[in-house]
Amino acid sequence: MSPKRTSGILLHPTSLPGPFGIGDLGKHAYHFVDWLHDAKQQLWQVLPLGPTGYGDSPYQCFSAFAGNPLLLDLEDLVKRGYLTPDDLAVPIFSRERVDFGPVITWKMSVLERAFQRFQKNDASASFQAFVTEQQWWLADYGLFMALKGEHGGHPWPEWEPALRDRAAGALAAAREQLKGRIQFHYFLQWLFFEQWLTLKSYANRKRIRIIGDIPIYVAMDSADAWSQRESFYFDEQGHPTVIAGVPPDYFSPTGQLWGNPLYNWERMAADGYAWWIERFRANLHLYDLVRLDHFRGFYNYWEVPGDAETAINGRWVDGPREHFFDTVISALGELPLIAEDLGEPDPGVYELRDHYQFPGMKVLQFAWGSDGADPFLPQNYDKNCIVYTGTHDNDTTQGWYRTAPEKERDYLRRYLRVDGTDIAWDLIRLAMMSCANMAVVPLQDCMNLGSEARMNTPAVASGNWTWRFLPHQLSDSIKAGLVEMAELYGRAYVASAERPTSAHAV
């Protein structure tokens, strides 16, 4: 990975402003890219972009390959002739929070209307080509989503046994019976990939690279678990016998019980990790760099009994380690990955990371609980890392500082020789001036926001992923502060870089 010093912003597209109840891939996304470019930032990090299910979490998606139709730009569909301006008459949605229930109901009904017009008026060669090219995952995903609709949204282990167990005759009959619904989900995916790749291309022309995110595990209720059942540990009824989590940690005294099915790594190794190779290939088409969530799970992982109520009574099990990465790299070449190596320290995890020269992660909020040898303090960094003030799993820096133990707050103030009145920007400066090759800051910290703007609280199942900002909050003063730091600390883009005109200027 390039050693060039860069910096950027962590912001999930759902947090973008706009009138439709949820951020999308439309004009506000392009305006954000323009703002990043003008702020001399070179990275935009997003959370997983898949179709969300349980708890609206981007880490619990219905597919490891599909995109989230809630992110679709409806105004683009008006331009394509699939919607009329009257179709966009919007209920009164909050502009500061995503109220997922009403937003999903309204937006999916609008997308249904778009599909009806598409069927009547469009025989798109682009659509047909997309369906043909992506059939290797799209066929199972489209059928899975159609069947979920037929079963009232219930998880696949609750379907009738023939469909749950993928009996060939039952699948063939369902494909015929539900072909209209399957085409609808194909249509949504075609639109998502066209819109996202157009936005990514625009960002790349602005010299901005997109950092994506691969959750190590797939959701229990996903097309992947249903269609690749032999690659996990399921009983005859489709219930997982062991599930994923982490032991007690900084975020939770009882650990985190994620509930995802665990991989049968021996079975996956038998076919050369084919599913994983295709997953990496697909993600590297969507992103320029990829954060590999819970990297330590490839070294060893916390296995919890399938009927457990907390993650306390688990055990460490060896992961596939070098055999996995050697196989994937042999198929795909060098992997532009960022190893999310947080959590309980383990020298073996760091050795695996460093063997492939994957950058690790540093979080400044974690740095103040011990002494000068703490690995999250900048004097202890290796250049080959990415530093954050906090991540999507942390409180905002303002929120964290208000509730941190006084011992940590005192150490931080003395370390930086500050009084704590502008603590978010103090940590932004510390990240930018560090030796880390990459520095990424949540937009909430740039805006000096408190705990009300926190994106996610681990081990809490509801109320997450809802934060949005308003257009006026993306201010010139914030931009000026980022420009100054990017220039002072050698993270600015080359001044002679091409500056294309926004295709979505208004």
Q: What is the pLDDT along the chain (506 residues), one digit of tens a residue?
A: 556 999 999 999 999 999 999 999 999 999 999 999 999 999 999 999 999 988 999 999 999 999 999 999 999 999 999 999 999 998 899 999 999 999 999 999 999 999 999 998 866 899 999 999 999 999 999 999 999 999 999 999 999 999 999 999 999 999 999 999 999 999 999 999 999 999 999 999 999 999 999 999 999 999 999 999 999 999 999 999 999 999 988 778 899 899 999 999 999 999 999 999 999 999 999 999 999 999 999 999 999 999 999 999 999 999 999 999 999 999 999 999 999 999 888 999 999 999 999 999 999 999 999 999 999 999 999 999 999 999 999 999 999 999 999 999 999 999 999 999 999 999 999 999 999 999 999 999 999 999 999 999 987 878 999 999 999 999 999 999 999 999 999 999 865 444 445 454 43
Whether residue 310 is contained in a domain is answered as: yes
A 10 A CB-CB count for 497 gives 13
Boundaries of domain holding 279: 232-358
Helix residue spans in 271-367 (DSSP H): 274-286, 321-332, 347-355
pLDDT at 398: 99
pTM of the model: 0.95
Candidates 350, 363, 245; CA nearest to 304 is: 245
Whether residue 266 is contained in a domain is answered as: yes
DSSP helix/strand/coil, 245: strand
Residue 56 falls in the annotated catalytic set: no
Phi-psi region of 462 (alpha: psi -120 to 50; beta: other; left: phi over 0): beta
Q: What is the rounded CA–CA span in Å between residue 115 and residue 344?
A: 48
Whether residue 279 is contained in a domain is answered as: yes
Q: How many domains does the chain have?
A: 1
Query: What 8-state DSSP symbol labels residue 114?
Result: H
Q: What is the rounded CA–CA span in Å between residue 210 and residue 289?
A: 6
Whether residue 263 is contained in a domain is answered as: yes
pLDDT at 506: 35
Whether residue 219 is contained in a domain is answered as: no
**Direct distance between the N- and C-terminal alpha carbons of the chain, in angstroms, rounded to an integer:** 37
Catalytic residue among 293, 341, 395, 426: 293
Q: What is the rounded CA–CA span in Å between residue 229 and residue 151?
A: 19
SS (H, E, C) 264-298: CHHHHHHCCCHHHHHHHHHHHHHCCEEEECCHHHH
Q: What is the rounded CA–CA span in Å between residue 109 and residue 118?
A: 14
Whether residue 73 is contained in a domain is answered as: no
pLDDT at 495: 56
Chain mean position to CA 452: 21
Candidates 375, 118, 365; CA nearest to 251 is: 365
CB 442 within 8 A of CB 10: yes
Residues forming beta bridges with residue 385, ordered by sequence position: 360
Catalytic residue among 73, 76, 221, 393: 393
CB 93 within 8 A of CB 468: no
Enumerate residues 6+ apart whose C-beta is below 8 A from 206: 33, 34, 36, 37, 497, 499, 500
Residue 160 falls in the annotated catalytic set: no
Whether residue 250 is contained in a domain is answered as: yes
Whether residue 293 is contained in a domain is answered as: yes
Distances (CA, A) of 186 to 65, 133, 416: 12, 12, 53
Enumerate residues 6+ apart whose C-beta is below 8 A from 210: 43, 44, 45, 46, 200, 203, 204, 286, 287, 288, 289
pLDDT at 130: 97
Q: What is the rounded CA–CA span in Å between residue 95 and residue 234?
A: 42
A 10 A CB-CB count for 69 gives 19
Catalytic residue among 34, 140, 221, 340: 340
pLDDT at 1: 55
Candidates 383, 384, 389; CA nearest to 366 is: 389
Query: What 8-state DSSP symbol labels residue 106?
Result: H
Residue 340 falls in the annotated catalytic set: yes
